[in-house]
């Protein structure tokens, strides 16, 4: 059932999260069956039907252990996924004293809507990106890159924080973490089976006169097909994550900040500058923008920036400035005080004029020129 509104989207996310967890166990069972089928084909000379039945018996015997192992994986990922992501990205939690600008922007957004404030984390990267993680209110956190803080003004940073807060409110973050857990578990088991195959780990005892004719070859082909399908499903499973979540998060940011132009300009600045070196595809799928694309948008987890901006222009009344060029990083610091061009309290006044305009716009006051 498609999700057409915010509340139906949230309910859909909950249903999908449960379905994905159930699907994880089914995929693991398929991998165990593939392993058992390969082992029987290498150890027993029999027709394919006999091998399939023996592999099924092996699966039934191994099911409790497979279930326990998968459940343990889910529990570990539930409690420690943030630690693993931080280790991968280098994100570190920051306080108000360390990041007063960022902390105050997020705190104000949370207070305005009565939202429990998530943890704030910063990762050292020149990329412009941010993502949210967590499974419950005690775990939720928002991580932003240092590059995003340097290159975006306050209104734009606020819009990105609003985007991530909306993902948390809508349940998107929880579902993304579940998808990452599934992809990790299936990939792990599939890779384990491939390694066992290549290194002969499944070779069982054989009699000297054994002939592995008959159904052995077909059984192994079936096992390989099962592993390949399960492995591919661990990637295709992200298609269960509706890309409408990004449009809804953009709209939620505008609802929080009342500033569609800030969300648009943030997306335009992030566009083409969001790649996180060393980050896995699972982490990139959580980000504001994921530049890793293929086959048009068919297998992309995020709509294109152009389509997101077009939606904000059409439905939120924003204005699209088009692709934006960024000045060098050292020039950003000088402009961060005031995006309107007005100097800050320690900047020098414009030549020949007062701090707020040229001589023609003001009379000689205590800060303006004095004609003689």
Q: In which domain, by residue range, is 181 found?
A: 6-90+175-240
**Residues 217, 309: one domain?**
no
Q: Do 213 and 72 have their domain in common?
A: yes
pLDDT confidence of residue 199: 64
Instruction: Give the pLDDT of residue 229.
Output: 86
- Would you say residue 78 lies in a domain? yes
What does the pLDDT look like over 14-67, one tens digit per residue?
Answer: 677 677 778 778 888 988 899 889 888 888 888 899 999 999 999 999 999 989
Domain end marker among 240, 271, 295: 240
Q: What is the mean pLDDT of residues 228-244?
A: 70
Reference 184, options 28, 306, 312; nearest CA is 28
Task: Let me know if residue 166 belongs to a domain.
Answer: yes
Q: Are residues 179 and 86 in the same domain?
A: yes
CATH number of the domain that 152 lies in?
3.30.2010.10
| Pure H helices in 2-153 | 6-43, 48-89, 100-113, 146-151
Single residue among 240, 256, 288 that ends a domain in this structure = 240
Same domain, 20 and 84: yes
68-82 burial by CB neighbour count: b if 16+ within 10 A, else e? eebeebbeebeeebb
pLDDT of residue 293: 62
Residues 277 and 297 in one domain: yes
**pLDDT of res. 357:** 42
Burial class (CB in 10 A: 0-12, 13-18, 19+), 139: middle
CA–CA dist 112, 133 (Å, integer): 22
The answer to whether residues 148 and 27 belong to one domain is no
Asked whether residue 251 falls in the same domain as residue 157, the answer is yes
**pLDDT tens column, 320-363:** 999 998 866 655 444 444 444 444 444 444 444 443 344 434 43
Q: What is the 3-state secondary structure (H, E, C) of 288-324?
A: CCCCCCCCCCCCCCCCCHHHHHHHHHHHHCCCCCCCC
The answer to whether position 28 is within a domain reads yes
Evaluate whether residue 26 is within a structural domain.
yes
CA distance 246 to 156: 17
- Residue 6 pLDDT exceeds 50: yes
Which residues are known catalytic residues?
164
101 and 112, same domain (yes or no): yes
* More confident site: 250 or 7: 250
Claim to verify: residue 10 and residue 82 sit in the same structural domain: yes
Co-location of 70 and 198 in the same domain: yes
CB 288 within 8 A of CB 131: yes
DSSP state of 115: P
Q: Do 168 and 273 lie in a common domain?
A: yes
User: Residue 279: which pLDDT band, with cuts at 50, 70 and 90?
Assistant: confident
Helix, strand, coil % over all residues of the chain, rounded to 5: 60, 5, 35
Domain final residue, candidates 209, 224, 240: 240
The answer to whether residue 362 sits within a structural domain is no
Average of per-residue pLDDT values in the chain: 79
Is 158 in the same domain as 274? yes
The count of domains in the chain is: 2
């Amino acid at each position: 059932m498609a999700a057409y509104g915010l509340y139906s989207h949230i309910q859909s996310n909950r249903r999908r999260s449960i379905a994905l967890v159930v699907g994880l166990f089914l995929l693991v069972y398929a991998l165990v069956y593939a392993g058992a089928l390969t082992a029987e084909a290498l150890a027993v000379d029999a027709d394919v039907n006999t091998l399939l039945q023996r592999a099924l018996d092996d699966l039934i015997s191994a099911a409790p252990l497979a279930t326990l192992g998968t459940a343990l994986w889910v529990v570990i990922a539930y409690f420690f996924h943030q630690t693993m992501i931080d280790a991968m990205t280098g994100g570190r939690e920051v306080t108000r004293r360390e990041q007063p600008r960022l902390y105050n922007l997020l705190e104000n957004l949370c207070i305005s809507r009565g939202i429990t404030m998530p943890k704030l984390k910063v990762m050292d990267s020149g990329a412009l990106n941010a993502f949210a993680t967590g499974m419950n209110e005690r775990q939720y956190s928002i991580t932003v890159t240092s590059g995003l803080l340097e290159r975006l003004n306050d209104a734009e940073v606020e819009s990105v924080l609003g985007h991530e807060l909306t993902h948390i409110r809508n349940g998107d973050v929880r579902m993304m973490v579940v998808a990452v857990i599934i992809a990790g578990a299936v990939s792990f088991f599939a890779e384990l089976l491939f390694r066992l195959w290549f290194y002969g780990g499944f070779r069982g005892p054989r009699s000297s006169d054994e002939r592995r004719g008959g159904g052995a070859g077909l059984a192994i082909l079936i096992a390989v097909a099962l592993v390949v399908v399960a492995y591919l499903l661990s990637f295709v499973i992200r298609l269960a994550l509706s890309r409408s979540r990004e449009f809804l998060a953009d709209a939620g940011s505008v609802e929080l900040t009342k500033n569609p132009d800030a969300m648009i300009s943030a997306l335009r600045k992030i566009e083409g500058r969001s790649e996180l070196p060393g980050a896995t595809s699972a982490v990139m799928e959580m980000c504001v923008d994921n530049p890793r694309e293929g086959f048009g948008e068919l297998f992309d987890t995020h709509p294109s920036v152009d389509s997101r901006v077009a939606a904000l222009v059409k439905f939120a009344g924003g204005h699209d400035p088009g692709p934006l060029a960024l000045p060098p990083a050292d020039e950003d610091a000088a402009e961060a005080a005031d995006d309107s061009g007005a100097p800050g309290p320690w900047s020098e006044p414009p030549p020949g004029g007062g701090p707020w305009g040229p001589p023609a716009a003001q009379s000689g006051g205590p800060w303006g020129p004095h004609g003689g």
